[in-house]
Structure 1
Amino acid sequence: MKTQLKLNNFSVSSSKNFLKLSNVVNIKEGQILEGFMVEQVTLIKEMNLTAIKLGHLNSGAQYLHISRDDSNNVFCIGFRTTPKDSSGLPHILEHLTLCGSERFPCRDPFFKIKRKSLATFMNAMTAPDYTIYPFSTQNLQDFKNLQSVYLDSVFKPKLREIDFYQEGWRMEHTDPNDKKTPIIFKGIVYNEMKGVFNNNQNIFVVRLLNLILPSHTYGIISGGDPLHIPNLKYQDLIDFHSRYYHPSNARFYSYGNFPLEDHLKFINDRYLFLSNKINTSTTKVPSEIRWTTPKKEHISCRPDPLIANPNRQNSIAIASLCTDINDIQETFNIYILSQLLLDGPNSAFYKSFIDSNISTGFGPMTGYESQCKDTVFILSLQGVQKKDFEKIEQIYKETLIKVIEDDFNEEHIDTVIHGIELQIKHQTSNFGLNLLFNLSPLWNHDGDIIKSLKINEAISNFKEIIKKDPKYLTFLVKKYLLQNNHKLTLTMSPCHDFEKQFIEAEKNLLELKLKNLIPEQLDEIYEKGQILFSEQQKEEDINILPSLKIKDLKTDVDRYEISDIEVSNVPVQLSIQPTNGVCYYYGILNTSQLADDLKHLLPIFNDVIIKMGTEKYDYRTWNRMVQLKTGGLYFSNHIVENKNNAYTYEEGIFIHSYCLNQNVKEMWNLWEELFNQFKLTDLQRFETLIKISAAKLTNGIAEAGHLYAMSSAASLVSPVARLKEKVSGLEFINRMKLIAQSKDMSLLLEQLQQIGKQVLKKSHLRSAINLTKESKHDILSSMESFYGVLKGYPIEKDIIFTTSNPIKLNNAAVHHILPYAVNYASKAILTVPYCHPEHVPLQVLSKLISSIYLHSEIREKGGAYGGGAKLASDGSFMYYSYRDPNSTRTFDIFDKTWEFLSKHNITENEIVEAKLEMFQTIDAPIAPGSRGLAKFKYGLTDDDVQHHRQQIKNVSKEQLMDVAEKYLSPNIKNLKIGRAFIGSHNSDLKSRNDENWITLNHEQIEAQAINIS
């Protein structure tokens, strides 16, 4: 639950575009527009936008419009929702509102409209104290379509009891068609929340919030506790909607270059003009009553078999309640303080706890939580020993005292300020959404959202405060951290019976509910299961939902000015873009010349190379230099398949950085220092970084289990996917666990030095740069100086491809045993690469079966949180399920795809919808700093993409059925098929004899590998 400074992710367009916003220049404060009173009109120069705040005269609904020259328009409707128990009421209501409405009575219109749209984003989200329904799109008609469905869903939902059973919870027979099978708990949200708590750090985050803010809505689990969700009654949900989803409690948000008046007229005419204002004060969150003495609590979690040291599976957090969210300047100041104390190797707590090896790294919740009514400063440590809990509390106190005595380094403060200023200039394609997500918590508590947009003012105020009182930051340390009695120390340790205890509690809850039921009520459970199953089988008319057509798509891909040049004989792709005074640099260092044993270490090299310092600078000085002049120097894996051949690929290291134009020379100096003077000799520092990396990797598995399952399954059929699994999948995570357990890492460090000597030169470097026309001459001149002093000489001008051998086995499967309450399943089939004529029909097919078959079978009937299919560029056709209570049933669903398609009459509308979903990605907006990267990284020219777009438009039903029969039919021999399953022990998988299942028990193994060569 780590949150960041409001607006610290935001990006802006080139200021010269601001004058194009003619649709708001005549809007004045006090003006009445379509039933709304204009309350504020404010120009925010640093973001090149105009913020317009309005209030609806009849209902009191609030409206914020951000007018900006950005085609990626955003709309959102939100409500303050403050539940009083952990039954998941607002979360289940969020699901249920999107299950049919007055104007759109079809089942589940949210997912159905999604495939009729070009939305660049669609979702609904439940926070502890608010619920929001946002979307974004570049198409005006699409905007109107989505707006109509979203608004009707929240204001006029059907809220059917049968949908409550499906989305929330129900008791039902394991097989709803067999009355003799056991009765169990089912429900999409029920299983979703079991999946959320697969992650121990999620347990820690939620309990910390509950305990430090116990008196109101933060004291419960708004998403729902699986052991409390079955206490929710259908009528409770109806009452909650009536109370909280009233226009008086609504907040509307729109962003972009579409006309504001059109939005207002639609909302007022359709939903608000007859609404009367009601009192919403009861929905407000009160300030937490401050404690007079600090508190301590201890909780349990499940053991994590992938953590390197079983004695260091403990976590501790020390959290202090700070200021009210509405004190905007104070929250800004505390954010800066949190960065100084917690961010990077120069921060005080990093030195105390990470460098000292007391902890393997900060927990994911570490930071300044500024999204609650009362903000919270949190230090969270993972990978600690239980015996060190008291020692950590003492070190925490001693560190704060030392900070007060020594004060903060002025240059360190400058690096934090520089980071904020750079982020204001840095551009992303989803600015409007980031703005919404950062403003929503403050707006939810009636804060001054216009003031919060004025980042430059906040920076100036901070600098003025520091100038007047140089000890101001140490004053904040005393006030909020050292002398604050509202402080919670929360510790967490693994319990080997944790999962067993949950299963037992779930069983007891079920037995309690069943015990008092008479036979007629037991019959009713079966009958309701039959009704729901029948409802899920119904064919329905989804043509009542508005839809775009293929003719609504743009005719050509967006084309950008890109040229290929050489600078000091190094190939450079040059792209002139409106980058708002920021220079973006990218490079690919080919690594095909490395020995295989070194290639497998590249992810580790990429992780540590920037964090170890250089010959001239220790790692702390080096980090400060990088942060003071750039947005960071980054290294990552680069494995990209040849668009024409599934068995060849480019392997290398992708590097990138960005900086303000005036800092470009310093950025080149930093890269030069790293290339020519890198230093990988500090063994203690290296061991620390390895432990941090290993801990971070294990934290991410439960949240992205479907991605790890797909990677594992694809690695059994595709040689390119096999390599990716080795450097980023579960296989790599397990290897990192073994490395972190090593008592001597000196040999490994020597190997990384060999990698550095071989790859950090311009011999196999190609690069790209995005910059403004005005800065082109100066930046390229300084780039030439940089390249001129690099070691080596470019010997290849084209992309260097590596050729791999096909995988021999045709059928393989792996079960990764991890102690999870729900599962992740995947099946992969090797098909054809990107440029093969069958690739596009397969892509469209993956979207088609996801919407017309897999969604219903896996989510609606199976109760999983999600499921679908996708096609990778290397030709791996992958099925997946996410937070899935089932195992073999899901694989059966995957296997029966062709059977379904052979009986289902695919309609033209279904094909159009599958194509539209493809274009959501292909035609998504690209930020100026990233334009041209498709060509640079993947070799895809604008003409390639346009050809691909045209192929999608031309795909026919016959082509879809042909590729479906060729690759998905069970009768086809010699297909390469891989399966992967992540979850607890499951004997049913072994009964699938023809699939060749093997088991990797991560609870026991020290080192296991899959032999598929």
Structure 2
Amino acid sequence: MRIEDLDAYEIVEKRRIEDLNSESYLLSHKKTKARIALLSNDEENKVFSIGFRTPPKDSTGVAHIIEHTVLCGSREFPIKDPFVELVKGSLNTFLNAMTYPDKTVYPIASCNDADFQNLMHVYLDAVFYPNIYKTDKIFKQEGWHYEMEDESSDLTINGVVYNEMKGAFSSADDVLSREIQNSLYPDTTYGFESGGDPDHIYELTYEDYLDFHRKYYHPSNSYIYLYGNMDMAEKLDYIDKNYLSKFDYLEVDSEIATQEGFTSPKEVRKPYSILESDSELKNTYLSYNCSIGSTLDRKTYIAFDILDYALCSAPGAPIKKALIDKGIGQDVYSEYDNGIKQPVFSIIAKNADSFQKDEFVKTIVEVLEKQVKEGIDKKALMAGLSYDEFKYREADFGRFPKGLLYGLQIYDSWLYDDKLPWIHVEANNTFAELKKEVDGDYFEKLIVKYLLDNTHKTVLLLEPEKGLTEKKDAELADKLAVYKASLSKDEIKKIVRETKELKEYQETPDDPEDLKKIPLLKLSDLKKEAEQFKFEEREMDGVKILFHDIFTNGIDYLTFVFDLKNIDAEDLPYAAVLKKVLGMMDTKHYTYGDLYNEINIRTGGISGSISTYTDSSDVKKFETAFEISVKVLHDNLLYAFELVKEILTCTKFDDTKRLKEIFGEQYARLSSDLSSAGHQTAALRAMSYVSPAAFVSDQVSGIGYFRTLEELSKKVETDEGAKEISEHLYRLCRLIFRPENLLVDITGTEKEYENVPNESVKFAKALFTDECQKGNLEITTTKKNEAFVTAGQVQYVCRAGNYADKGLKYNGALRVLKVMMGYDYLWRNIRVLGGAYGCMSSYAKNGDSAFVTYRDPNLQNSIDVFEKASDYLRNFEADDRVILQYIIGAISDLDTPKTPSGKGTYGLTAYMCHAKMENIQKNREELLGTTKETIRSLAAYVDAFMEDNCVCVIGTADKIEESRSLFNVVEQLVKA
């Protein structure tokens, strides 16, 4: 069967897209006018998605709540959570759903044909025939509901989306992005919060929620996308016969309105919450925001990303430098959002003061006018252009299938013009055009048109307000108390009854026959053999080289690995500082701005990291390495060696002014990152109490590093302190970047390897060889059990420990346990019953283990759930089908396809960990052989790590105080 033979569809366009090595089709479903875009190619990792235009008319989060709830049971799959059942038992390489300001998208991906078909089936049934019309309990669980345990209880509000968005609104950076969009487009869908504002979510009625689904979740308002190596005609025929043909055409008014341009710029002020003990000084966000035409302008779509780099994002860029020099903000950056109908370009000064607003605007305008008059630095434009083009050609999105990212990007045009899905993913010609424009005044004209003469812009101040969270919580509590007082006894009894009924609904097991309706692969469908790692250890003149012979399409992936065994434990945070400043300061031959441009013109990026590698034969041993990674087109490989050599051996650390700038920027960013990713922060900190490897990671990237950064930010203010810091960095370079510490890791083909040995030897000879006093990386851990208070509205709760210290050895079945706990015991008790947005567990090969919650309204309740986990496992009951689900889910996580760079990293990790293929295969067989009895035996592992009783929480003052006895230390995450 050919696509051309399908009577149900009209082919709007068919052509080859060489940029993507794909045959493209644009179709329309004749009966419903559903839009279909196809990219047929030889990619094994297949992608399907269905999306809908879903413009909200308020901030109740209706679109977001529907995204959650349609995945909670459907006509053919009537169980309470088909999404979870799929995650448990699918070989998916991606499975999720996303709510955007103007659309909702349901994408899936899998390399397995049968699995792909199953996922597509469940998702299509979910969006078109959800169970949300059968019971309001789905809406209450995922959206919001009033909650009262008994008639004397306080009236409260709970719900997964409600708590998720309380977490989102706890991040000032997230609030800023939201308010910028709202300020520029107040009369459109972008003037509302599609995810839901916690202050308004509880205004959404069940009836309005259902009406939203009826209106927008119709084939006539749908966008269907298929990518990869599959029988496209067969898939289209299936979609038509089973779903699209069952509907008639419906006129759906979902067009995204265009905001009329402002006649003059506007100023907007909004508050965000800080703790009572926080300072209001240097805590304001200043932003200069401009509307940038239409996302359908394919040239401007990319051009402004290049301007973003050249004007502000790059170190030393003119706007960033001018504002920092004037002391306006610790962290100055720009953002370009081209994923909406009218893109936004913003210049942001973080940790500034409100009174600096006028000077902020004046400085930006002066710099822009100067750029127009004197011309933008051509090298900066070429660097930004080269970087974007490299990323586009490489198409390496890590664990995310590239077909998925293409599918999401096409909405940037397709959503606003049915005939233009490909203009941004087919970009080679656009890059070629822009290269020609660098020598002219095209980019300068963009500045004049959109950043200077444009009246459609705002200046937004996000200002700190002490105790705003507590104030809002108190107002809501008062409002709920007044509401409860207004209720009759019968109405109160009704809420109590409905609270109990909801919990009974949540706790009632699904009908086993309904569970079997979720399609499931067989054990025989799973690969029995573990993926082979690939490396060959070579050497030339004493320099060790690790070679991964892998086809990379002309891109070399080069990593310089330096053993950190000769530094002291106290040096770890300084090593992390070193990682941050390298490439960001002047060197012998470059200013830091020129260096950054040179890097992006010559390479696809140079990045640093500090990694720990556990010895597979003795998990008490581990190595710590300082790594510099480069990706580069093969023709520029020699430049990569030269640039890294320049950075490691010629950096000038005695530029006090520049050190202050970097510390200020890092402090501002990390203070936000630690709280917004509180689950990772808490888990790393909790494990650092007993695990030397986790202690290292915390000292170089977690709270341990942040505390050192706080100290250094003060120390660098004095001449003596600045001198001490720079001398420490010079000393570390001489300790770390030495030939005897070096391993050169290269991923590419044998042909591309040809020049690597000689260049590696030359590189090693340029490293430090002078005598120096070496340290000894010995780690001592201490259990602290800390709580870190933030101005947020939710908790991140972790209980951690180590099972290997109790004599237990890693078992491949622990991967099954991770899936099972994350989507059964923890999911049911933490998310479904507790209302937290997320929950997870981890069990590393070195024994480090943790239970963690994410955006959690509770604290003590979650700790109690953790405590009962091993009892649950000891009494675990499940049939073979359920066990198979967990096995498939674990294999899916293990077998995610790797990019060429990912394969190289897999080989490097195996080498550094002294891994043996027979042990990896043994662990896989343990995973595949997991039984009910195996799961029960793993209760011992949970008991073992829980015995350490390591607790770390990031959360609100009131919840932490309620459980004060858990903690030895309580302090603010970000100290005043």
Question: TM-score, with normalisation over the residues of structure 1?
Answer: 0.90
Equivalent in the alignment of 2:410:
439
Alignment partner of 1:775 out of 743, 752, 756:
752
Give the alignment of 1:478-557 within 5 angstroms: 478-511=448-481, 513-540=483-510, 541=512, 542-557=515-530
Is 1:757 matched up with 2:728? Answer: no
Structure 1 residue matching 2:287: 3-state secondary structure: strand
Alignment partner of 1:209 out of 181, 187, 194:
181
Equivalent in the alignment of 1:243:
215
Equivalent in the alignment of 1:12:
none
Alignment partner of 1:58 out of 31, 42, 45:
31
Preserved contact between residue 709 and residue 981 of structure 1 (Cα < 8 Å): yes
The offset of 1:376, in angstroms, is 1.5
Equivalent in the alignment of 1:7:
none
Alignment partner of 1:110 out of 71, 79, 83:
83
Preserved contact between residue 649 and residue 802 of structure 1 (Cα < 8 Å): no
Structure 2 residue matching 1:687: 3-state secondary structure: helix
Q: What CA distance in whole angstroms lies between the structure 1 residues aligned with 2:630 and 2:316?
A: 21
The offset of 1:637, in angstroms, is 1.4
Change (3 A) 1:556 1:290: same
The offset of 1:118, in angstroms, is 1.2
Q: What CA distance in whole angstroms lies between the structure 2 residues aligned with 1:391 and 1:593?
A: 48
Which deviates more from structure 2 when the two are superposed, residues 757-766 or residues 126-135? 757-766
Give the alignment of 1:20-35 within 5 angstroms: 31-33=4-6, 35=8
Q: What CA distance in whole angstroms lies between the structure 2 residues aligned with 1:337 and 1:678?
A: 27
The offset of 1:973, in angstroms, is 11
Preserved contact between residue 295 and residue 487 of structure 1 (Cα < 8 Å): yes
Equivalent in the alignment of 1:821:
793
The offset of 1:761, in angstroms, is 2.3
Change (3 A) 1:973 1:606: closer
Which deviates more from structure 2 when the two are superposed, residues 100-109 or residues 456-465? 456-465
Is 1:79 matched up with 2:52? Answer: yes
**Code of the aligned partner of 2:207:** Q
TM-superposition CA deviations, 1:847-880 (whole Å, max 9, x none): 3233221111101110111113221232122111
Equivalent in the alignment of 1:361:
331
Aligned length: 958
Structure 1 residue matching 2:281: 3-state secondary structure: helix
Preserved contact between residue 91 and residue 222 of structure 1 (Cα < 8 Å): yes
TM-superposition CA deviations, 1:421-457 (whole Å, max 9, x none): 2113324252112212222232211261223232111
The offset of 1:922, in angstroms, is 1.4
Alignment partner of 1:169 out of 133, 139, 144:
144
Is 1:414 matched up with 2:377? Answer: no
Is 1:228 matched up with 2:196? Answer: no
Preserved contact between residue 34 and residue 268 of structure 1 (Cα < 8 Å): no
The offset of 1:128, in angstroms, is 0.5
Give the alignment of 1:110-259 within 5 angstroms: 110-159=83-132, 160-173=135-148, 176=149, 178-259=150-231
The offset of 1:897, in angstroms, is 1.2
Q: What CA distance in whole angstroms lies between the structure 2 residues aligned with 1:531 and 1:289?
A: 48
Change (3 A) 1:760 1:422: same
The offset of 1:943, in angstroms, is 4.2
Alignment partner of 1:343 out of 304, 313, 318:
313
Q: What CA distance in whole angstroms lies between the structure 2 residues aligned with 1:728 and 1:808?
A: 18
Structure 2 residue matching 1:879: 3-state secondary structure: strand
Q: What CA distance in whole angstroms lies between the structure 1 residues aligned with 2:329 and 2:975?
A: 24
Is 1:603 matched up with 2:576? Answer: yes
Structure 2 residue matching 1:839: 3-state secondary structure: coil
Is 1:909 matched up with 2:877? Answer: no
Equivalent in the alignment of 1:674:
647
TM-superposition CA deviations, 1:910-953 (whole Å, max 9, x none): 32222222212211111112213223135345544333211211
Equivalent in the alignment of 2:839:
867
TM-superposition CA deviations, 1:807-838 (whole Å, max 9, x none): 576xx622212222111101113112899644
Change (3 A) 1:294 1:58: same
Structure 2 residue matching 1:289: 3-state secondary structure: coil
Alignment partner of 1:319 out of 267, 270, 289:
289
**Code of the aligned partner of 2:383:** T
Q: What CA distance in whole angstroms lies between the structure 1 residues aligned with 2:807 and 2:239?
A: 46
**Code of the aligned partner of 2:406:** L
Q: What CA distance in whole angstroms lies between the structure 1 residues aligned with 2:313 and 2:925?
A: 47
Which deviates more from structure 2 when the two are superposed, residues 865-874 or residues 820-829? 865-874
Change (3 A) 1:614 1:1005: closer
Preserved contact between residue 306 and residue 1003 of structure 1 (Cα < 8 Å): no
Alignment partner of 1:748 out of 692, 701, 725:
725
Alignment partner of 1:629 out of 578, 602, 613:
602
Alignment partner of 2:350 out of 362, 378, 382:
382
Is 1:968 matched up with 2:942? Answer: yes
Q: What CA distance in whole angstroms lies between the structure 2 residues aligned with 1:462 and 1:1003?
A: 45
Gaps of 5+ in 1: 1-22, 795-799, 1007-1013
Equivalent in the alignment of 1:592:
565
Preserved contact between residue 906 and residue 957 of structure 1 (Cα < 8 Å): yes
TM-superposition CA deviations, 1:572-592 (whole Å, max 9, x none): 111122211111101211111
Equivalent in the alignment of 1:890:
862
The offset of 1:896, in angstroms, is 0.9
Change (3 A) 1:408 1:38: same
Q: Kindly report the root-mean-square deviation, in angstroms, between the aligned alpha carbons of the 2 structures.
A: 2.5
TM-superposition CA deviations, 1:672-715 (whole Å, max 9, x none): 22233232121111110011011110111232111111112212
Structure 2 residue matching 1:293: 3-state secondary structure: coil
Equivalent in the alignment of 2:929:
954
Give the alignment of 1:9-48 within 5 angstroms: 31-33=4-6, 35-48=8-21
TM-superposition CA deviations, 1:155-197 (whole Å, max 9, x none): 0001030111111111111xx3x33221101111111110001
TM-superposition CA deviations, 1:341-365 (whole Å, max 9, x none): 12212422122123544221135xx
Change (3 A) 1:551 1:992: farther
Which deviates more from structure 2 when the two are superposed, residues 895-904 or residues 482-491? 895-904
Preserved contact between residue 643 and residue 833 of structure 1 (Cα < 8 Å): no
Q: What CA distance in whole angstroms lies between the structure 1 residues aligned with 2:620 and 2:177?
A: 44
TM-superposition CA deviations, 1:440-485 (whole Å, max 9, x none): 2322112612232321111223344556xx2222111111111111
Structure 2 residue matching 1:611: 3-state secondary structure: coil
The offset of 1:121, in angstroms, is 1.4
Is 1:475 matched up with 2:470? Answer: no
Preserved contact between residue 406 and residue 425 of structure 2 (Cα < 8 Å): no
TM-superposition CA deviations, 1:321-375 (whole Å, max 9, x none): 1211112223233332222212212422122123544221135xx3221111111
Q: What CA distance in whole angstroms lies between the structure 2 residues aligned with 1:357 and 1:878?
A: 42
Which deviates more from structure 2 when the two are superposed, residues 838-847 or residues 158-167? 838-847
Alignment partner of 2:970 out of 972, 979, 1000:
1000
Preserved contact between residue 874 and residue 937 of structure 2 (Cα < 8 Å): no
Preserved contact between residue 698 and residue 704 of structure 2 (Cα < 8 Å): yes
Gaps of 5+ in 2: none
Structure 1 residue matching 2:583: 3-state secondary structure: helix
Which deviates more from structure 2 when the two are superposed, residues 105-114 or residues 449-458? 449-458
Structure 2 residue matching 1:450: 3-state secondary structure: coil
Is 1:295 matched up with 2:266? Answer: yes
Q: What CA distance in whole angstroms lies between the structure 2 residues aligned with 1:492 and 1:988?
A: 27
**Code of the aligned partner of 1:452:** H
TM-superposition CA deviations, 1:277-306 (whole Å, max 9, x none): 2223x2001211111111001111112699
Structure 1 residue matching 2:179: 3-state secondary structure: helix
Structure 1 residue matching 2:260: 3-state secondary structure: coil
Structure 2 residue matching 1:374: 3-state secondary structure: coil
Preserved contact between residue 762 and residue 793 of structure 1 (Cα < 8 Å): no
Is 1:708 matched up with 2:708? Answer: no
